[in-house]
């Protein structure tokens, strides 16, 4: 294909010196016309060498005083000029030099495709817990997997290099990274938001009638998600506090509907299942056999711990024992944009 679309990519950062080079190397080594790639790094005033390392690449840098990745992504989205747009966190690494071509191809191939997405890949050198999570297409832990839809249920057509998926409200997989048409986003409520919330974007697109998406399994990316159970628990607690309670009432994408009896029954079933431990252990042993990796034995431990931590966090927040704190602000006085 000669006429590839222009692409804008944003990477939010805060003290990502150990990751930013790996991430940008993967982006700028793409076999894609260089003049058609625009990369934004939105930094929260890092105190390490993140910015200095980023400046070694042909990137555009914005400074954001609010430590909120979704807000940072929106700042870059409003300045972007590419036909296509996506966000890539600094601790991600794209697989192969043709990642961008594989992801852009469905959008160039079919004008009805709104966006394309891919899957997580397992890096054998990663921590066993991170490997266990990465065996899932969307790096879901057991509780998130139980409450979200499987990709097979929404695929409507398989084509060369990708599958067409039908995203309908309430039937959208938790896609982290999505390469989408910027002009379509500008026509929806996405452009009116203060933050660029990954999963909310998909709901907004679907409700606006832009519901055809492409799943590109051969692209893939690596993500060093967590290196310990404690780290996973802290991430889950932070997500519940910041991305659920702090933004409660304005979120488009929800895992459960507490007013729907069916969802309440699913919650009760899952709590019992996770705390029995043994059923999840049986499932884990089956996955160990299929994947030939003992990392899958994390299944019952993660199911139990994340479930009970989630219950605890919800209770202390609902009862007001723990207050929901907004994102922290940097107190240093500097220009927001450079």
Domain boundaries, the chain: 7-223, 229-318
Supply φ then ψ for residue 120, to 5 degrees. -80, 150
Rounded to an integer, what distance in angstroms lies between the CA atom of residue 52 and that of residue 72? 19
Supply φ then ψ for residue 263, to 5 degrees. -70, -35
Q: Which residues contact 177 (CB under 8 A, 6 or more apart)?
A: 86, 87, 88, 92, 117, 118, 198, 221
Q: Which of 59, 54, 44, 42 is nearest to 18 (CA)?
A: 54
Give the right CATH number for 7-223 from 3.30.70.20, 3.40.50.11740, 3.90.550.10, 3.30.565.10: 3.90.550.10
For residue 271, pLDDT over 60 is answered with yes
Q: Where are the beta strands (DSSP E) in the chain?
A: 7-13, 37-43, 60-63, 84-87, 92-94, 115-117, 155-159, 162-166, 179-181, 212-215, 221-223
Helix axis angle for 229-238 and 298-318, nearest 10°, is 30
pTM over cut 0.85: yes
For residue 273, pLDDT over 80 is answered with yes
The answer to whether 188 and 204 have CB atoms below 8 angstroms apart is yes
Q: Which of 50, 161, 49, 187 is nearest to 105 (CA)?
A: 161
**Residue 336, pLDDT score:** 37
The residue ranking higher by pLDDT, 157 or 241, is 157
In this prediction, residues 112-138 reach a mean pLDDT of 96
**Residue 239, pLDDT score:** 78
pLDDT-based confidence at residue 165 (cuts at 50, 70, 90): very high
For residue 288, pLDDT over 80 is answered with yes
Q: How far is CA 278 from CA 233, 301, 304, in A?
A: 21, 10, 10
For residue 171, pLDDT over 90 is answered with yes
**Residue 245, pLDDT score:** 56
pLDDT-based confidence at residue 1 (cuts at 50, 70, 90): low
């Amino acid at each position: 294909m000669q006429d590839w679309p222009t692409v804008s990519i944003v990477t939010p950062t805060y003290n990502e010196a150990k990751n930013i080079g790996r991430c940008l190397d993967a982006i700028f080594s793409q076999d894609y016309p260089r003049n058609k790639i625009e990369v934004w790094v939105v930094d929260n005033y890092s105190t390490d060498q993140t910015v200095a390392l980023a400046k070694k690449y042909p990137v555009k840098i914005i400074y954001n005083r609010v430590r909120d990745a979704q807000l940072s992504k929106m700042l870059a989205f409003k300045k972007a000029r590419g036909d296509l747009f996506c966000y890539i966190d600094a601790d991600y690494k794209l697989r192969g030099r043709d990642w961008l071509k594989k992801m852009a191809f469905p959008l160039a191939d079919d004008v009805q495709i709104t966006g394309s997405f891919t899957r997580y890949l397992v890096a054998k050198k990663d921590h066993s817990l991170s490997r266990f999570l990465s065996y899932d297409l969307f790096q879901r832990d057991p509780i998130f997997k139980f409450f979200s839809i499987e990709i097979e249920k929404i695929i409507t057509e398989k084509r060369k290099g990708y599958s067409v998926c039908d995203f309908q409200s309430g039937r959208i997989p938790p896609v982290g990274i999505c390469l989408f048409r910027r002009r379509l986003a500008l026509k929806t409520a996405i452009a009116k938001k203060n933050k660029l919330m990954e999963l909310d974007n998909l709901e907004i697109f679907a409700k606006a009638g832009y519901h055809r998406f492409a799943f590109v399994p051969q692209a893939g990316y690596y993500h060093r998600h967590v290196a310990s159970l404690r780290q996973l628990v802290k991430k889950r607690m932070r997500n519940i506090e910041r991305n659920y309670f702090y933004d409660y009432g304005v979120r488009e994408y929800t895992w459960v509907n507490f007013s729907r009896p069916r969802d309440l029954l699913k919650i009760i079933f899952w709590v019992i299942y996770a705390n029995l431990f043994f059923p999840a252990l049986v499932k884990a042993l089956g996955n160990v056999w299929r994947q030939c990796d003992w990392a899958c034995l994390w299944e019952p431990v993660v199911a139990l711990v994340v479930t009970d931590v989630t219950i605890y966090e919800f209770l202390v927040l609902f009862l007001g024992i723990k207050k929901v704190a907004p994102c922290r602000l940097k107190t240093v006085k500097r220009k927001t944009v450079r």
